[in-house]
Structure 1
Amino acid sequence: MTQYTQIISNAFCEHSFSGNPAATIILDKWLPDDVMQAIAAQNNLPETTFLYPTDTKCEIRWFTPLKEVYMAGHATLAAAHTLNEHIAAGKKERISFSWRDGIFDVTREDDIYWMDFPCQNLSPLPNIEILKSITLNCVDAYHCTDTIIILPHIDDVISFIPNPEKLLELPGRGLAITASGYDSIDYVSRFFCPRLGVLEDPVTGSSHAILARYWAEKLNKKTLLAEQYSRQRGYVHAEVKDMFTRIGGRVRLFSNGTIHI
């Protein structure tokens, strides 16, 4: 039986028990895909991240309870925090991960970890009638990686009750619903992704790369603070640049232990 370090952290959090939990597992060699998938299913967290550090790079892969995914924003922040706080000798300002598309950097500024996401263009949702089946009274509806629905009021975001079967009829990875915010919060959102085994994701960094650009234009702002209004709540910092969007958040350690395979 082999032992591996597993660290669970909450990303995009402002206090204990907020944000989105992710497990980070440190490997000395890659495990078979089915074993990593079984570990992610056993963890039953939104994401389990596997790191394989070498002398020259740190390879990274992400798994939901159902399948391996292309990328996971909050889990990447958690992995960077794990390397910085628990693995590396001394805190780094830049943490680089190697994945199938090349090198992905996470930077740390004070206590916030940042990622850069390339711009994505929003297109009008081609079949607006499909929204009637999920009882959404939208202001606007768009599509890119996900279906993006703009709702009239924050109360509409909070009160929405998802139907997993109906959500699977929508195009793309998942559904993001959003409305204008309150006080210091520029906008609020929720994200649903039953296609990947996560009915409601507590905080979804990649979706904010799209939402922040939309709200930056609407509010005429370049720097925004968003709240993802899940049960655990999460807080996402965003800086909208010409060619990319910076998404940042705080990370807090939840548990540190060992798994036995």
Structure 2
Amino acid sequence: MYLNIYQIDAFAEKAFEGNPAAVIPLDSWLPDDLMQQIAEENNLSETAFYIPDGDGFQIRWFTPGVEVDLCGHATLATAHVIFQHEGFSGKLIKFVSPRSGVLEVELEVDGQMTLNFPTDKIQQLDIKEDVIPGFSIRPKELWRGLSDYILVYDDQSKIQNMTVDLNELAKVDTRGFIITAPGDQVDFVSRWFGPRVGVNEDPVTGSAHTSLTPLWTEKLNKNDLTAIQLSRRTGKLSCKMLGERVKISGRAVTFMVGKVEI
């Protein structure tokens, strides 16, 4: 059996920027363990699989280690594949995730794509000493979303200069950690670490911005925000707070088209 596979750089203006994701179209779901093995073999932060579902699609995402509840950059990459490679003629794609519900992606006039995702539920916590030992700089605030801890700092340079102990981070029972601060040229910057799920540092994490958008909307008192994830590859995002939903916009670029032999 042969499967089409695409490798897409999401939240990128050109190849080798943003966050690479693998995308595999299917007619029906493969066994879970086989999809996990394919994701492990791809060794990217996420591999997305999708199947037709009425006039839309169902979607699932796998890191090299686990299936995850939500992934923004791989959803953007999947939409890029459907719009650019799989003959979809519309401007709005409706995805249904078994774990996250309805997710929409709209193709804008300027070529950007806009994700419409549920807003994360975040709450501020007292700083827990058992959560922060893996970070070289102590945060100003600690927050918790449904999937990640969020460490807030007061300066972009602290995000850029942060060193982490991945072994310490992997001891904490969480999908991942977001570190964030006001940006020098954008509203906010961030980085994301998830060694417990097989992703030491993610280049650009769309799902993290469902947590960061309500956080910085409250702090900056504005609904339209610009953001950069300060990984080595970097990624640029535009975010808009819409109450229970958040819009996250970016571009994607095709890097590779091929086939998987099973």
**TM-score, with length taken from structure 2:** 0.92
* 2:37 equivalent in structure 1: 38
In structure 2, what is the equivalent of residue 161 of structure 1?
163
Match of 2:229 in 1: 228
- 1:175 matches 2:174: no
Measure how far apart 1:224 and its partner are. Answer: 1.0
- 1:177-226 Cα offsets, whole Å, 9 max, x none, are 0111112x111100001111001011111111111222222222211110
Q: Residue 187 of structure 1 aligns with which residue?
A: 188
After TM superposition, give the deviation of residue 98 of structure 1 in Å: 2.7
Q: Percent identity?
A: 38
- Residues 55-64 or 218-227, more deviating: 55-64
Instruction: Give the Cα–Cα distance (whole angstroms) in 1 for the partners of residues 41 and 121 of structure 2.
Output: 36
Unaligned runs of 5+ residues in structure 2 are none
Matched residue SS, 1:129: coil
Report the equivalent of 1:124.
Answer: 124
Q: 1:165 to 1:16 in 2, by over 3 A?
A: same
How many angstroms does 1:104 deviate by?
A: 2.3
Distance of aligned partners of 1:112 and 1:150 in 2 relative to their CA distance in 1, 3 Å threshold: same
1:1-261 residue pairs with structure 2 within 5 A? 2-53=1-52, 56-90=55-89, 92-101=90-99, 102-110=101-109, 111-130=111-130, 131-132=132-133, 134-145=135-146, 146-183=148-185, 185-261=186-262
- Tell me the distance in 2 between the aligned counterparts of 1:187 and 1:113: 20
2:122–2:145 Cα contact (<8 Å) kept: yes
Question: How has the CA–CA distance of structure 1 residues 180 and 127 changed in structure 2, closer, same or farther, with 3 Å as cutoff?
Answer: closer
RMSD over aligned Cα, in angstroms?
Answer: 1.7
Aligned residue type for 2:73: H
CA distance in 1, matches of 2:160, 2:6: 31
Deviation at 1:55, TM superposition (A): 5.5
Q: Distance in 1 between matches of 2:190 and 2:134?
A: 20
Taking the aligned partners of 1:103 and 1:187, their CA distance within structure 2 comes to: 27
Q: Distance in 1 between matches of 2:182 and 2:63?
A: 30
Q: Could you say which structure has the higher helix fraction?
A: 1
Unpaired runs of at least 5, structure 1: none
C-alpha displacement of 1:3:
0.9
Of 55-64 and 13-22, deviating more is 55-64
